């Protein structure tokens, strides 16, 4: 299953890359195909261009998982709402990963 990783980036050191990378590795370990927006975007690109590319990738996924702090993030909130509107299941990353990795 393709799983989109959503979370806060703006205003966080190194755009929160470490937690996205750890989550990506755990999703892969659980047997799923992670979609990490950091792998899609270039840090020098305009925020809105990145968001458009991320939303396009999200639309090809079967699930969205969100990282801590997502509800304070404008971009993550947009992704979460869009996923919900189009019927893509949305789950807390920590809860989802604990369930599939049995930790």
Contact 30, 100 (CB under 8 A): yes
Cα distance between residue 46 and residue 20, in whole Å: 20
Fold held by 2-101: Rossmann fold (3.40.50)
Closest CA to 35 of 47, 44, 23, 46: 23
Q: What is the pLDDT of residue 103?
A: 56
Please report, for the chain, the start and end positions of each structural domain, with discontinuous segments joined by +.
2-101
Cα distance between residue 64 and residue 13, in whole Å: 23
DSSP state of 46: -
pLDDT tens digit at each of 103 positions of the chain: 999 999 999 899 998 999 999 999 999 999 999 999 999 867 678 889 989 999 999 999 999 999 999 999 999 999 999 999 999 999 999 998 888 776 5
């Amino acid at each position: 299953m393709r799983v989109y990783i959503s979370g806060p980036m703006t205003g966080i050191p190194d755009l929160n890359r470490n937690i996205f990378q750890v989550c990506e590795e755990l999703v892969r370990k659980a047997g799923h195909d992670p979609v990490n927006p950091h792998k899609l975007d270039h840090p020098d690109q305009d925020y809105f261009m990145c968001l458009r590319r991320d939303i396009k990738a999200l639309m090809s996924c079967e699930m969205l998982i969100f990282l801590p702090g997502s509800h304070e993030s404008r971009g993550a909130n947009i992704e979460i709402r869009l996923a919900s509107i189009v019927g893509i299941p949305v789950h807390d990353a920590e809860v989802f990963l604990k369930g599939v990795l049995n930790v």
